[in-house]
Structures are given as C-alpha cells and as structure tokens.
C-alpha cells in the first residue's frame, strides 16, 4: 500500500479531511461513477499484475465501498481544496522586496491570485467545459514573509457532484510581481488527489492579461483528449507559438525560430562583422530561438546585439532557476577576475605576456595570480574596490583549482601513452576512427584544394608495429587515426594570417598494442600548397634524440590544438547544443504539455535554450571567448557550419551508429548491445553502450505503452507536426537530405527519442564535464597555438635549437589567453546544486498520472544506479589499462551521479551548461 500511495502521490494527502459537506455522503452513485472514471483514465492500456495489485490496495476504492445507499435525484455540491506550492526566491533586490510587500497588502483588497477548475467533461448547457467557481489563494499576506524555500497556499472550490474529473486549472495573477508556481494538488475528489505539475512563472495580469492554463499530470494523445480540454489544448499551443512578429519581452513564453545572425556586431566595426549562419546552402546551420530584435544600423540582415550583463531573450520558463543562476554568476565572477588580473599583468610588462616555464603555470594553482604578480599594497590601492579584491584573494577565488590531469601524475601529459589514452578516454573520445586504408585519403575537392595525397609512408610507421607490416596491422584492426586534415585545411590560409595564430591540418596515427592500449606512431602536419614544388606536408615520428623529442612535443601540441577546436566547435557546441535546439523549440510549439512524449522529453530540455543564448552572447560571438581562446579565431563558427554541412547526420548521431560509422565497432548480435568493440577497453564506448541500452529500454517501455501499433504513430498529429517542424523548419537547410529517419512506426519513434535523450544527457556530459579536469592544464591540451614547428631552413630554427623550452612556451597560448580559457572551462565544467541527473526527475511520483509508467521509470532509475556501480568496478579493474593503472585517471565522465562543482563525472538529464 505504501508503494501504491507513493506512485500515485496519495501519501501527500492521507490526513486530509476535505469533503466538508455532509450532503456528499448522500450520493454513492456519484462516487462509484467518478472512482471508476478516474481509475479508467489513469490506468488505461495494459496493466501489469503489480499495478492491478496496487489498485486493489488503494484507499480510493475503499471510499465507494463504505458509502451509504441513498441516491438523490439531483446533483449536490461539495467542497474540494487546492494545495498550491509556490517557490520563494532566496535573494531579492530592493525593488522586488518593496513590490512583494505591496502585493501582500493589496491581496487583502482583491488584488489576489485566483484559480478556476476545469473539468474534462462538457457542460450540456453551455457547450463548453464544466468550470468551478473562482477561488482565491488564502493567507498570501500572512505567508509572504516566510523565508522557507517553498510555501503552500490553499484555495477552496465548490463543485457539483456531476463535475467530473478536473483536467485543467487556470491561474490569474492580479499581483504586481510574477511568482514561480511549482505544483497544484486538488484534494477532495473521490478518485483521490489530482496533481498539476506546473514549474512555471506566472506573470502579472498587467503584463499578460490572459489566464494561465495548467493541465493535470494525466497524459493524453491528441485524439484521446477529453472533450472539455480540446479547445484549451489547442489554445495553449497557439499562445506558445506566437505570431512570429515583434520583439520578445523577457516575460514572454513564445517559442519561434531564427537564423544565427546575431553573432557579429558590425555597428562597432568591420572586424566584428560575421557571416550569417543558416538560411543558405553555402553556410547551413540549425535554427536558434527567435528574439525579434531590431537589425543593426549597418547591416539590415544582422540582428542587433544585447551585450552582457543585459539578458538575452529566451521564453520565461527556460531561464535559469535561482540556484543555477547563482552558480553561473559565481563562475562569471571568477572569469571577470581572472581576466582582470592577466590584463594588468600584460599592461605592466610585455615580458609577462608568455609563460616563462612550468613553474609559472603551477603558480596559478598554488599561489594565485595576485601573489604571482607580486603586487604591492600601493598597486592594490590603485584597483577599484581594493578591499573587495583583497577579500576575494583571501577566499582563494583568484586561485585556480588543480586540474585532475595533474592529480595522479604531474607529468602524465608528457607521456605518449597518455596522449593516446585521451583519444579514447579523454574529453573528446569521439573522433578516433579505425584506419581502413593506408595511406589515408582526403575527401576535399582536388580542383579547389589541389591534390591531397598523404605524406605518410610505410617507412614512417613500420618500426612501431610490433613486427607487423602495415597491411597485417590493417587486417588485424590494429591501426587507428584521428584525422583533422579535411576539417582544418580549407581554413588554414585565413587562420595563419591572423595575428598570433598558427595551425596545421593534422593526422595522428595510433597502433593498438597487445595490452589493449594505443601508442602514437606518426603525426602528419599539413599546410595549404602554395606551389607545385612547395613543401606543404611533413611527418613527425616518435623521437630518438633530444631535438626530436621537442619536435614531437610541439607536434602533439598542434594535434591537441586541432582536437580542442573540433571538440568545442563541432562535437560539443554543434552536435549537442545547437542541433538539439530545433527539437526543443518544436516540442514546445507542437506537443501539448499533456502529450506523453512531451512528458518524456521535458527533463531533457531543461535550461538548454538559456545556455545556448548565453553562448551566443558571450562565447561564440564575435570577439567572444571561443574566438579569443581557440586557434580558428574569427573563423570558429564558419568551421562549425562547414562540419554541419559536410559531416552531421541525425541518423548517425546515436552511439551504436556512430561507433559503426567510425569503424570502432561492428554489428554482432551475440554481444550484449548488438555490437563488438574493436578496442575492447574503449572507456567512452563501453560505458556509453550501457547507458544507451538503459535509455533505449526505458524509451521502448514508454513508447510501446502509448503506441502499440504504427497507426497510432502515424495518426498522432501533434507528434508528426513536432518531428516535421524539427526537420523542415529547425533544420531547414538540410531538410531535403535523404538520411532523415522516417517516423511511421513505434520502432522509428524509439530510435529518434533514444538518440535525442542520449545527445542531451550522456553524449553532452562526456564532452563537457572533463573540460577543466583535462584542459585546465594548458600544456596538456592547448586550445590554440601561436607558432609553427621550424625546420632547419627556417630563421626560427636557431631560436628553437638554442632554448627549446622557451620556444615551446612561446608557441602555447599567452598568459592572458590561457587564464581566460581556464576560467571559462572551469565554469562550463561545474555542476550546479540543482542539477537533475539521468534516472532522476523532480516530482518523481507525480510527473505523470500513469502508474505503469511511473513503475517503468523506477526500473530505469534502478538500472542507472546499477550501471554506476559497474563503472566504479571497471575503474578498479587493473586489466583495463585505459582506466586503471599507476598515474592513470579513472574514466568517470559517464558515471551518472555527481555532487556540485567540478567533479569530472555526472550525467545531467539535459544540456544545461
């Protein structure tokens, strides 16, 4: 019984005595009818034996059995109560406090919060849905000063015994200030409590005159919508779509599309102009959330900028909640401080522009920036608010945390085996491929880029293959490659013309040892060909002398710089953040909140629009952090768009399909996940396949419950509209590609939803939360390089030969670039206190009114916990050398849970940072 109460949320109200009118006991037929109606709707579909047992134990049935036997001729009235949970702000500014007190005062005189219940049934007299009387929240003025996180208010309704089941509730806020409505529970109906998970800001009537509509947690497919809710369902979706015109206010809840035409700021100069992304075949891109701002003065096709700290529009319910915003603001504060101090350093002396040695980098973690500078008291006095700066210094905000890559072995980053290990167990483990032909072949158009034959020869690698020939190694699946040649080469002329930016298009070859570990055997460095006899390619191999060692370290640094750019611009930003945004916009526009697929996707859409807007404002914008800190500079987003055009395919974004595409796995029905990994100890893939299977199993149970056959999928107009709009509007530039999956069967739907949930949760986590643990030590993973590798005929060769360490540091990012990058990836790698992880969700027992689905979700949660234990066991297994060994970091980026902060683990439900 306890489990049944938990599943349906009955324990919330088991002490309630809400049926206050004695007249209600005179109508047992009403109770029997309403009980059966509620039960039928909440448990429609196939019931498990366990669910039927729960129903027999439920106190809902006991009500009708114990009631007495007089049947009146007409309906009677009885009272029901609403318990309304409002979440308070922890901190309020002065204006909010004043308005809050004013609202508490005027609430007594009718400027209150009013609610109205709406039935699932139609009133035969009005031909509209049955409605209760209007009720107001009680004791707002008395409870307004409570300092608790949540406050429960009540309201009482009087309804007829033939009212039916409440399916919606309207809320009118007559106060001056918005409030966050977490949930409403209606108590007193014979079917038990009816839950309304709201989780939404309710605006003042003066800002939004219409009533807010909230639906109960009972899911309905469109053609099963009760008559009383049909018009409300359609009206709510119309409101969310808007009319596509006008500038959006921050309080709006309108979801619409636009192209990326707001990254540049041409009004400030031609150097800050950027091409539009999306809306053309030449520069295609996914759509972003429309804000409707006016165009710039100098370019009518570019949208005007909103510069920080002013907020950029996203629909009100997509904005960060308070704890998330506080955590993000703290990170931004650190970033500002870390940018301020290096700027001072650069202005004091040009000699401080570069790191002088490894000790300079170590001091960022041990002493902090101010101490390293040796600023005296008189220098501190020249800073604004010196007392504040000093206190922050004392609180260690000016120190960087030691990155995890240094935690087990300070020199791990220098080792070739660690360089290789990070290709399959680092922050970007999704670019390595099995080499299927030697030498590797470019796919670039030779008419544009010239002949792109690889400079790699058999003699370069033959001595590193454990006695195998190249063909034998290929046949034995022992050769692997990380190939950035075609990604970078079209942009290299422009990149290398930038001040302080130098890059190659790299290829790195690895050999799989008998122990299951990789070792790098050759690095190819390519530049655009300037003439028929120009030397545009060179190959660097593992060193045999001191000079070769420094050449090799520089070559690996250039590979890591290539890798950092592709990781950030393609795998992280494009494939998780940007490509998911159209699916999220379409879900809000086309799927009702009562649609079961919306309920499934809801936790996986949280915060994504907000973090993407913040990225457009500060990270991927002209002269933003990404351009400042990564090698491609102002061409970063054009590279991202090129990858979208040439590489991205939704049908290959799921983990199994991606592993097969890269040749890292082959189909094998005898294996647990239907795949055989060709590198058995591939931590990202091995852990990822467990999570993929768990998500797919959960989605399969969910979809099969609501869609037992293809007809239901094809006839669901909201579902079909969501998917069609995601493609035809959200990904309009690629809408005609033949690889888009169809949506005609339950299997199609399972595949599409599993891919989306995988991308939003595990894929994003694996690419995001290791950024500071691995990249916070810049020599391990430099985001940009400033010098090429000199050969003996270059003037710089003498400088390199005389002091190779000094040359190495002059090639790495400057102190300003490095500390800015470190501050940002520190923020991006941080879990907020309100993070919701895979297998969890807020209001676990009441997010849906379908007990069978709640039971299936608990099974999914249990499986995620089991996977976490198995990952811990794998990380302690000494036979798995890519995740366990002396100085080897465990692979925890796909371990599902985490505490707050930078932990290098944790899989949130959504792209939330």
For residue 818, give the 3-state DSSP assignment. helix
What is the DSSP secondary-structure string of 391-426? HHHHTTTTSPPPPGGGTS-TTGGGSHHHHHHHHHHS
63 given a catalytic annotation: no
For residue 348, give the 3-state DSSP assignment. helix
What is the DSSP secondary-structure string of 471-507? HHHHHTT-EEEEE-HHHHGGGHHHHHTSTT----EEE
Q: Which residues contact 247 (CB under 8 A, 6 or more apart)?
A: 291, 292, 293, 294
Average pLDDT in the 754-762 region?
A: 98
577 given a catalytic annotation: yes
| Catalytic option among 572, 588, 604, 831 | 572
Q: Per-residue confidence at 369, pLDDT binned at 50, 70, 90?
A: low
| Catalytic option among 35, 261, 768, 909 | 768
Question: Can you tell me the distance from the alpha carbon of 463 to that of 221, in angstroms, rounded to the nearest whole number?
Answer: 64
Question: Can you tell me the distance from the alpha carbon of 482 to that of 480, in angstroms, rounded to the nearest whole number?
Answer: 7
Looking at residue 353, what is its pLDDT? 73
Looking at residue 339, what is its pLDDT? 59
Window from 334-343, 479-488, 518-527 with minimum mean pLDDT: 334-343
Q: What is the DSSP letter of 311?
A: P
Q: Which domains, and CATH codes, for the chain?
A: 77-218 (2.60.60.20), 431-568+784-805 (3.10.450.60)
Question: What φ, ψ does residue 117 adopt, rounded to 5°?
Answer: -85, 140
Residue 168 bridge partners (DSSP)? 118, 215
Q: Per-residue confidence at 11, pLDDT binned at 50, 70, 90?
A: very low
Q: Where are the beta strands (DSSP E) in 570-658?
A: none
**CB contact burial 496-521 (16+ within 10 A = b; e otherwise):** eebeebbbbbbbbbbbbeeeebbbbb
Interior CA angle at 723 toward 722 and 729, to 5°? 85
Question: Can you tell me the distance from the alpha carbon of 705 to that of 542, in angstroms, rounded to the nearest whole number?
Answer: 57
Looking at residue 535, what is its pLDDT? 67
764 given a catalytic annotation: yes
Looking at residue 320, what is its pLDDT? 85
For residue 449, give the 3-state DSSP assignment. helix
Question: Can you tell me the distance from the alpha carbon of 813 to that of 9, in angstroms, rounded to the nearest whole number?
Answer: 56
Looking at residue 370, what is its pLDDT? 53
Average pLDDT in the 41-63 region?
A: 38
Interior CA angle at 725 toward 720 and 228, to 5°? 55
Higher model confidence: residue 395 or residue 92?
Answer: 92
Answer yes or no: is pLDDT of 389 > 90: no
Average pLDDT in the 682-701 region?
A: 98
Q: Where are the beta strands (DSSP E) in 263-421?
A: 288-289
**CB contact burial 872-901 (16+ within 10 A = b; e otherwise):** eebbeeeebbbbbbeebbbbbbbbbbbeee
Contact predicate 304/261, CB 8 Å: no
For residue 150, give the 3-state DSSP assignment. strand
169 given a catalytic annotation: no
| Catalytic option among 764, 780, 867, 882 | 764
Interior CA angle at 576 toward 589 and 664, to 5°? 135
| Catalytic option among 567, 577, 588, 604 | 577
Question: Can you tell me the distance from the alpha carbon of 208 to that of 204, in angstroms, rounded to the nearest whole number?
Answer: 6
Question: What φ, ψ does residue 227 adopt, rounded to 5°?
Answer: -55, -40
Contact predicate 435/509, CB 8 Å: yes
Answer yes or no: is pLDDT of 25 > 90: no
For residue range 596-637, list pLDDT tens digits in order.
999 999 999 999 999 999 999 989 999 899 999 999 999 999
Q: Which residue has the tokens 């079209």?
A: 490
Answer yes or no: is pLDDT of 385 > 80: no
Higher model confidence: residue 75 or residue 268?
Answer: 268
Q: Which residue has the tokens 């002013």?
A: 310
913 given a catalytic annotation: yes
For residue range 236-288, list pLDDT tens digits in order.
999 999 999 999 999 999 999 999 999 999 999 999 999 999 999 999 999 99
**pTM (2 d.p.):** 0.90
Q: Per-residue confidence at 534, pLDDT binned at 50, 70, 90?
A: low
For residue range 150-192, list pLDDT tens digits in order.
999 999 999 999 999 999 999 999 999 999 999 999 999 988 9
Average pLDDT in the 466-477 region?
A: 97
Higher model confidence: residue 360 or residue 630?
Answer: 630
Q: Per-residue confidence at 889, pLDDT binned at 50, 70, 90?
A: very high
């Amino acid at each position: 019984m306890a489990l049944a109460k938990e599943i349906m949320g009955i324990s919330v109200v088991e002490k309630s005595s809400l049926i206050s009118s004695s007249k209600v006991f005179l109508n047992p037929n009403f109770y029997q009818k309403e009980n059966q109606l509620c039960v039928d709707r909440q448990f429609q579909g196939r019931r498990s034996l366990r669910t039927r047992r729960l129903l027999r134990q439920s106190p809902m049935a006991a009500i009708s059995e114990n009631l007495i036997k007089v049947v009146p001729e007409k309906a009677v009235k009885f009272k029901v109560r609403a318990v309304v949970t409002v979440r308070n702000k922890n901190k309020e500014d002065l204006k909010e406090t004043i308005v809050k007190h004013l609202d508490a005062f005027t609430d007594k005189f009718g400027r209150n919060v009013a609610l109205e219940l709406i039935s699932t049934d139609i009133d035969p007299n009005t031909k509209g849905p049955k409605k209760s009387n209007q009720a107001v929240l009680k004791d707002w003025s008395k409870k307004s000063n409570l300092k608790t996180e949540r406050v429960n208010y009540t309201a009482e309704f009087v309804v007829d015994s033939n009212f039916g089941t409440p399916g919606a509730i309207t809320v009118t806020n007559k106060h001056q200030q918005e409030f966050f409505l977490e949930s409403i529970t209606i108590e007193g109906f014979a079917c038990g409590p009816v839950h309304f998970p709201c989780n939404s800001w309710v605006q003042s009537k003066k800002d939004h005159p219409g009533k807010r509509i909230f639906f109960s947690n009972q899911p309905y497919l469109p053609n099963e919508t009760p008559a009383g809710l049909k018009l409300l369902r359609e009206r709510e979706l119309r409101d969310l779509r808007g009319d596509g015109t006008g500038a959006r206010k921050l309080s709006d809840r309108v979801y619409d599309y636009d192209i990326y035409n707001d990254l540049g700021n041409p009004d400030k100069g031609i150097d800050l102009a950027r091409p539009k992304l999306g809306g053309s075949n030449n520069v295609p891109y996914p759509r972003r959330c429309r804000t409707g701002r006016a165009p710039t003065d100098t370019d009518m096709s570019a949208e005007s900028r909103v510069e920080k700290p002013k907020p950029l529009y996203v629909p009100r319910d997509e904005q960060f909640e308070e704890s998330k915003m506080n955590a993000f603001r703290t990170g931004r504060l650190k970033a500002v401080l870390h940018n301020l101090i290096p700027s001072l350093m650069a202005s004091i002396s040009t000699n401080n522009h570069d790191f002088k040695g490894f000790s300079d980098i170590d001091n960022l973690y041990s002493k902090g920036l101010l101490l390293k500078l040796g600023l005296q008291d008189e220098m501190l006095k020249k800073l604004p608010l010196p007392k504040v700066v000093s206190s922050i210094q004392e609180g260690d905000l000016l120190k960087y945390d030691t990155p995890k890559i240094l935690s087990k072995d300070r020199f791990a980053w220098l080792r070739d085996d660690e360089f290789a290990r990070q290709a399959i167990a680092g922050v970007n483990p999704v670019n390595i491929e099995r080499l299927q032909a030697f030498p590797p072949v470019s796919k670039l158009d030779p008419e544009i880029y010239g002949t792109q034959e690889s400079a790699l020869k058999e003699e370069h690698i033959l001595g590193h293959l454990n006695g195998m020939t190249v063909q034998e190694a290929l046949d034995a699946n022992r050769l692997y490659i990380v190939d950035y040649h075609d990604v970078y080469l079209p942009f290299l002329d422009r990149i290398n013309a930038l001040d302080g930016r130098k890059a190659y298009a790299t290829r790195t070859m690895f050999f799989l040892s008998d122990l299951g570990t990789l070792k790098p055997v050759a690095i190819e460095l390519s530049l655009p060909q300037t003439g028929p006899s120009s030397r545009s390619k060179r190959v660097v191999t593992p060193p045999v002398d001191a000079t070769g060692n420094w050449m090799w370290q520089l070559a690996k640094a250039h590979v890591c710089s290539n890798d950092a750019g592709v990781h950030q611009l393609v795998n992280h930003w494009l494939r998780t953040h940007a490509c998911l945004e159209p699916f999220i916009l379409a879900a809000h526009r086309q799927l009702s909140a009562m649609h079961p697929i919306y309920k499934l996707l809801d936790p996986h859409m949280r915060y994504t629009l907000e973090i993407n807007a913040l990225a457009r404002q500060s990270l991927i914008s002209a002269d933003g952090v990404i351009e400042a800190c990564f090698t491609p500079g102002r061409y970063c987003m054009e590279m991202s768009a090129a990858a979208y055009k040439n590489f991205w395919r939704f049908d290959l974004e799921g983990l199994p399909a991606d592993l097969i595409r890269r040749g890292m796995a082959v189909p094998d029905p005898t294996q647990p996940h239907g795949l055989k990994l060709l590198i058995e100890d591939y931590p990202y893939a091995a852990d990822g396949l467990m999570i993929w299977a768990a998500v797919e199993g959960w989605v399969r149970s969910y979809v099969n419950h609501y869609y037992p056959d293809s007809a239901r999928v094809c006839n669901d107009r909201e579902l079909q509209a969501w998917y069609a709009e995601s493609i035809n509007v959200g990904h309009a530039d690629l809408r005609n590609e033949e690889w888009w999956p169809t949506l005609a069967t339950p299997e199609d739907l399972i595949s599409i939803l599993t891919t989306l949930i995988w991308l939003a949760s595990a894929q994003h986590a694996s690419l995001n939360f290791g950024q500071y643990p691995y990249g916070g030590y810049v020599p391990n993973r430099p985001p940009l390089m400033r010098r090429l590798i000199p050969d003996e005929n270059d003037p710089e060769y003498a400088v390199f030969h005389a002091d190779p360490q000094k040359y190495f540091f002059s090639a790495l990012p400057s102190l300003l670039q490095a500390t800015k990058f470190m501050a940002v990836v520190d923020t991006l790698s941080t879990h907020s206190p309100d993070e919701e992880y895979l297998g969890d969700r807020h209001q676990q027992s009441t997010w849906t009114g379908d007990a069978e689905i709640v039971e299936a979700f608990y099974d999914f949660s249990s499986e995620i916990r089991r996977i976490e234990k198995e990952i811990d066991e794998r990380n302690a297994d000494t036979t798995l050398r890519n995740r366990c060994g002396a100085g080897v970091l465990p692979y925890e980026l796909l371990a599902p849970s985490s505490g707050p902060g930078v932990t290098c683990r944790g899989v949130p439900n959504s792209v939330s940072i």
